[in-house]
Structure 1
């Protein structure tokens, strides 16, 4: 095809703006659309008319989810937004990592003080009582690659979840996920010291799956990501705590379920009580290691 033929072919130009050349097609109607007319979809982009038809075709469940979770009556699409708690988590975690590096120059290790180590929860073992270790592992990491991957994951997932949940619900989810990871390590790998925010991250992913389904979205990608990370945890024993992953996932899924069922006005107290019940159940499980370990 000659240059002249190409410029005369209307299929090479946006159907809404005939003077704008584009190579992007709407994934539904296959018409050419320019960047101004494109809306990002699950795969590719769609045009304004197809987007409007898609919103009209929403199921009653999707419309109810929009009313519960949407901000200002907009669509149910999940997009990154303002996330102050996520920003604080990133800053504090990065700052603690740098502080640990500086402390290491003097021969002191913050990681050894803040890592999760189950025996430190049981005074009868004679090693003291350090309950802060249930949550402080979220602040310390084993190396640059470890913290870089975790901070990137927190940034990506946090900017999706926090705008939907609000800062306090998001912070509660993050901490309960971390607690769930620590409890699982106490049950399944009692004497293993663990650092990192993996439990909290898997908690966020578990909640995102539950909330995504409530919104009527396609959560296949999240499930695939979860599966890959869980498999990696089992295939690389010693360096990755799969126990923390599983514990955080279960705890975060439970909190996500609570959030998805208690979003109506007047259910705030019920929501707080149910999340507190999840926390109490996790702490109650810490009574099992003495029975399992026989001390």
Structure 2
């Protein structure tokens, strides 16, 4: 007959006597292994297993809910750092701005001559401070716009979807510049920001927001698109607007089931493929 005074010990610390069991797996646990639970205590393994099984909250568009718009902060920091860099070394602008090609008679440079990185690096540069008053205003206006719009869009989409939207919008703006004005050097985050503006509009319609305020916002955005035809690159703005709209339509109207992520990723990859094909076709035309 087994003695009633049998000593019970912790399953993780066999030398420690204990009398409390994990409410989930029923193993004995010592005070060092006890984790507070809704009822009683649990062991560390059961706590970790329970945390893995908890379903993470998602936004209306399938992204993970974030506590802060971290990607927007990082993008602003990258733009500011690039601006400080070009202030110290102005040659950075000519080396990394968006340029398709140069007229005949000049040294070959630009996307058509293998500098494909310009399709994205130009979106992180701005007019240098030596370029009159608008040089400073260029980055200030873009970063204020990114701060105001980017935070809202990121919190609705989640970090991964938001970053994909931003980069595809920037790429869309650069590709339209390449197609229409390949010999015009352009730079600035405006194309990507126009893409965020399109996303803001599409999301507001999908969520049933007050469209009066949203329509006023879009009217201002389109007015700036028209004005930019005389001031800066309207091609980059329009390309970013179209790319951002396409991506967000896929985000907003993908089926809300297990296929949603697949449809959203597929739409982004399809747009990326289209932009690459258009860019390659134009480069082939420029290098004939």
TM > 0.5 fold call: yes
Conserved 8 A contact 2:63-2:160: no
Task: Give 2:271's aligned residue.
Answer: 278
Deviation, structure 1 residue 70: 9.4
In structure 2, C-alpha distance between the alignment counterparts of 1:112 and 1:219, rounded to whole Å: 42
The 1:211/1:192 distance shift into structure 2, 3 A limit, reads same
Counterpart position of 2:118: 133
Structure 2 partner of 1:111: 93
1:251 aligns with 2:280: no
Shift of 1:155: 0.6
- Uncovered stretches (5+) of structure 1, i.e. residues with no partner: 1-65, 73-79
Residue 192 of structure 1 aligns to a residue whose secondary structure is coil
**Among residues 143, 155, 176, which one is paired with 1:184 in the alignment?**
176
CA gap of 1:197–1:163, structure 2 versus 1, over 3 A, is same
**In 2: Cα distance, 1:210 partner to 1:233 partner:** 18
State how far apart, in whole Å, the 2-side matches of 1:206 and 1:226 are. 8
Please give the alpha-carbon distance, in whole angstroms, between the structure 1 residues aligned to 2:224 and 2:205: 25
CA RMSD after TM alignment: 2.9
| Cα distance, 1:293 vs structure 2 | 6.2
Partner of 1:173: 165
Contact preservation (8 Å) 2:204, 2:214: no
Secondary structure in structure 2 of the residue aligned to 1:118: coil
Is residue 98 from structure 1 mapped to residue 90 from structure 2 by the alignment?
A: no
Determine the structure 1 residue equivalent to 2:214: 222
The size of the alignment, in residue pairs, is 216
Correspondence list, 1:54-73, <5 A: 68-69=60-61
Assess if the C-alpha contact under 8 Å between 2:59 and 2:158 holds in 1. no
Runs of 4 or more, structure 1, over 4 Å off, are 69-72, 290-294
Q: Which residue of 1 aligns with 2:261?
A: 268
**Alignment match, 1:147:** 139
- Structure 1, residues 70-92: CA drift from partner, whole Å, max 9, x if none? 999xxxxxxx9620000000111
Which whole-Å deviations, capped at 9, do the CAs of 1:200-257 have from their partners, x for residues lacking one?
Answer: 0010111111111110113343343333343344345453111111111100000000
Per the alignment, do residues 288 and 82 of structure 1 end up closer, same or farther by CA in structure 2, a change over 3 Å counting? same
- TM-score, normalization: structure 2? 0.67
The match for 1:3 is none
Question: Structure 1 residue 69: deviation in Å?
Answer: 4.7
Specify whether residues 280 and 144 from structure 1 end up closer, same or farther in structure 2 by C-alpha distance, changes over 3 A only.
same
Distance 1:135 1:144, change over 3 A: same
8 Å contact 1:233–1:240 — kept in the other structure? no
The change in CA–CA distance for 1:242 and 1:113 in structure 2 (over 3 A counts) is same
- Determine the structure 2 residue equivalent to 1:207: 199
In 1, Cα distance between equivalents of 2:180 and 2:237: 12
Residues 176-202 of structure 1: CA distance to partner in whole angstroms, max 9, x if unpaired? Answer: 000110111112212111000111001
Alignment TM-score, normalising by the size of structure 1: 0.66
Cα offset for 1:101?
A: 0.5
Which residue of 1 is the match for residue 48 of structure 2?
none
Mark the runs of 5 or more structure 2 residues left unpaired by the alignment: 1-57, 128-134
- SS where residue 210 of structure 2 aligns? coil
